[in-house]
Structure formats: structure tokens, C-alpha cells
């Protein structure tokens, strides 16, 4: 073998070794590492013991003088349902934003000073207590020195039936019809919580009894332009679907005073929807109004 042949053989061997080393360098340098550490235990929350955020005032739910907010309700609606001024409810509950109430929230619907009296009375299904008829009446007469009792309340308008006379006398108020038009729809506790009375657009709407305005506006769905009067601690009246509202909140009004003009706001025709509410519960207005 010549020197040239031997030299060529050595170069081939050297090149082959170099290629093998390069091939080994391209693969994984180490074998996969298996993690044999024990798994870390993670705490599991028990839904039965997890803290639940309660609505404001939940501790008073069901107590006399408190009301639990239902879906879709506003403070105005709650005032109508409990026979209170919505502004008073806002004040009693320190509500900085009266429009921001939540479902399940429990609100005080009697003044704080009435708590003890409320606890001694039987509440209804929503915790709203029944109060003595006529107490706190705007038009009531005070007992004078030397008298043992207050004079009898003013008689109601002339009545022909004992039922109407009894209801009117019980209220301690003197009532009139708010408009002279015909009854288009009578009272029904479920379908119609008052009377629908006919008339013409712009016709005067009169206060049915002495009272104070607790709401003026269109913030209650289904009522259109609405006025609510509070007559005493027991009775409210509502006047809905008006064209024009002529009074302001907190204004005192007298029986027969023009408070609005008839219209068809949020209604299918010109009419007055008139409600009488006793402690927030709708009652048949014909039991209080004089017969025609």
C-alpha cells in the first residue's frame, strides 16, 4: 500500500468520526426527568359552608314594620303598597340613592318611633303592620282642654247605603268623586285595583278628600302621569293617566281642589284610574264615595 493510499484512509476515518460526533450532538442531551414529588394538597371549598352575601337589612325580614323588595319594584311602588311617602321610606333607611334598591333588600316602612307599637300588632304577610284607623289624620281635630275625647269626625257626604256610610265614617274623611264621568271598569282586587272613570281630555280631576301630595310624576309603569295623595296614616288615593299635573310633592290640598287634568297617558283612551288604598291595600272606592 502506497503512502498516498494510507493517507487517504486516515482522512476518511477522521471525517467519519467527525460526522458521528456531530450526529450525537443534535439529539437530546439528557433523558426525560420524572417528577416523583408528592402532589400538593389543594383546599376544597364546601358550598354549604362558604360565606353567602346577604341583602341589606336581611336580619329584619318578616318583622313588623319592614318590607322585602320584590323583583321589578321601585321605592314609589313600595310607598303605594305600604301606604307611605316614598321619601319617608328613603329617609328611614338612609338611602342616598333611592332608585338603587335590590331584590331581597329589607326596608323599614314605619318610622323608627313606631317600632314598639308595630311589634305589638299583628303584621300581614309582608310584615306591614295594621295601625289604628284615622290616627294621624291630616284633617283630624285635637282634643281640647277639659274634653275627655275628640269631637266626632265630620260626617261624610250623604249616603244611601249603610255599607258606604260605615266605610266613610270609619275613614274619618269626607269623600267626593274625583270626576263626574261614568264608571268604565269597576274594582277588582286582581285585575283592576280601583275604578276607571270616563271623561274628556283636559277635564278637571279633583282631590277626593283633604290630604297631602306624596308623589307627582310618571315613574310607575302602567299609571302614566300619576298623583298620589296621603290623607292620614291609613288612607292614600291615586289618580292616574292624567294629561296635566297641577300640584307638587308635599303640597297640602283640600277636598274638591283641582289637582290635574284628565288624559290618556299610558292608557288606550281618555280616562281617570282612581284608587283608594287602606294601609297600602287596594279597597273598593265605591265603599267610601257617596252614591250617585
Asked, for residue 196, whether it belongs to a domain, the answer is yes
pLDDT of residue 148: 41
Q: Are residues 105 and 215 in the same domain?
A: no
Q: Looking at residue 167, what is its pLDDT?
A: 77
The reply to whether 5 falls in a domain is no
Segment among 15-19, 68-72, 105-109, 191-195 with least mean pLDDT: 15-19
Contact (CB, 8 A) for 274 and 238:
yes
Average pLDDT for the chain: 79
Instruction: Based on the fold, state whether residues 226 and 282 are members of the same structural domain.
Output: yes
CB 43 within 8 A of CB 72: no
Same domain, 188 and 271: yes
Q: What is the CATH number of the domain that holds 115?
A: 3.10.350.10
- In a shared domain, residues 197 and 269: yes
* Position 158 pLDDT exceeds 50: no
Look at residue 125 and tell me whether its pLDDT is greater than 90.
no
Question: What is the average pLDDT across 200-211?
Answer: 98
Q: Do the domain assignments include residue 278? A: yes
Asked whether residue 15 is domain-assigned, the answer is: no
Q: Say what the pLDDT of residue 139 is.
A: 41
Within-domain flag for 205:
yes
User: pLDDT tens for residues 12-32?
Assistant: 566 565 555 555 555 444 455
Please give the average per-residue pLDDT across 128-142, as a whole number.
40
- pLDDT at residue 131, as a whole number: 44
pLDDT per position as a tens digit, 90-114: 999 999 888 889 999 999 999 987 6
**Is the same domain home to 103 and 171?**
no
The number of residues making up the chain comes to: 292
Kindly state whether residues 166 and 283 are assigned to the same domain.
yes
> Does one domain contain both 188 and 82?
no
Report the number of distinct structural domains present in the chain: 2
Model confidence band, residue 126 (pLDDT cutoffs 50, 70, 90): very low
Predicted local confidence at residue 113, as pLDDT = 78
113 and 166 housed in the same domain: no
Q: Please indicate, yes or no, whether residues 283 and 195 belong to a single structural domain of this protein.
A: yes
Same domain, 171 and 280: yes
pLDDT band of residue 67 (cuts 50, 70, 90) is very high
Among 109-123, 154-168, 209-223, where is mean pLDDT lowest?
Answer: 154-168
Q: Which range of residues forms the domain containing residue 247? A: 162-287
Asked whether residue 256 is assigned to any structural domain, the reply reads yes
Instruction: Say if 49 falls within a structural domain.
Output: no
Same domain for 282 and 167? yes
249 and 171 fall within a common domain: yes
- CATH (domain of 275): 2.70.70.10
Does 88 reside within a domain?
yes
Amino acid at each position: 500500500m502506497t503512502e498516498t493510499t494510507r493517507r487517504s484512509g486516515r482522512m476518511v476515518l477522521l471525517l467519519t468520526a467527525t460526522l458521528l460526533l456531530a450526529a450525537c450532538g443534535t439529539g437530546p442531551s439528557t433523558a426525560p426527568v420524572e417528577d416523583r414529588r408528592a402532589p400538593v394538597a389543594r383546599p376544597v371549598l364546601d358550598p354549604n359552608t362558604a360565606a353567602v352575601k346577604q341583602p341589606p337589612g336581611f336580619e329584619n325580614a318578616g318583622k313588623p314594620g319592614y318590607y322585602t323588595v320584590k323583583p321589578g319594584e321601585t321605592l314609589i311602588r313600595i310607598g303605594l303598597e305600604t301606604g307611605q311617602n316614598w321619601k319617608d321610606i328613603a329617609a328611614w333607611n338612609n338611602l342616598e340613592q333611592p332608585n338603587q334598591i335590590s331584590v331581597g333588600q329589607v326596608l323599614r316602612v314605619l318610622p323608627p318611633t313606631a317600632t314598639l307599637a308595630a311589634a305589638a300588632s299583628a303584621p300581614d304577610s309582608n310584615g306591614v303592620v295594621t295601625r289604628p284607623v284615622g290616627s294621624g289624620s291630616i284633617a283630624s281635630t285635637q282634643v281640647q282642654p277639659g274634653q275627655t275625647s275628640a269631637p266626632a269626625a265630620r260626617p261624610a257626604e250623604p249616603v244611601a247605603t249603610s255599607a258606604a256610610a260605615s266605610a266613610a265614617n270609619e275613614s274619618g274623611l269626607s269623600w267626593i268623586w274625583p270626576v263626574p264621568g261614568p264608571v268604565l271598569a269597576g274594582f277588582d282586587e286582581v285585575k283592576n285595583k280601583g275604578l276607571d272613570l270616563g271623561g274628556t281630555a283636559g277635564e278637571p280631576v279633583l282631590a277626593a278628600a283633604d290630604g297631602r301630595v306624596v308623589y307627582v310624576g310618571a315613574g310607575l309603569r302602567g299609571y302614566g302621569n300619576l298623583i298620589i295623595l296621603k290623607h292620614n296614616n291609613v288612607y292614600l288615593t291615586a289618580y292616574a293617566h292624567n294629561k296635566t299635573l297641577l300640584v307638587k310633592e308635599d303640597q297640602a290640598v283640600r277636598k274638591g281642589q283641582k289637582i290635574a287634568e284628565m288624559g290618556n297617558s299610558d292608557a288606550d283612551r281618555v280616562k281617570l284610574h282612581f284608587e283608594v288604598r287602606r294601609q297600602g291595600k287596594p279597597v273598593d272606592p265605591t265603599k267610601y264615595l257617596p252614591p250617585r
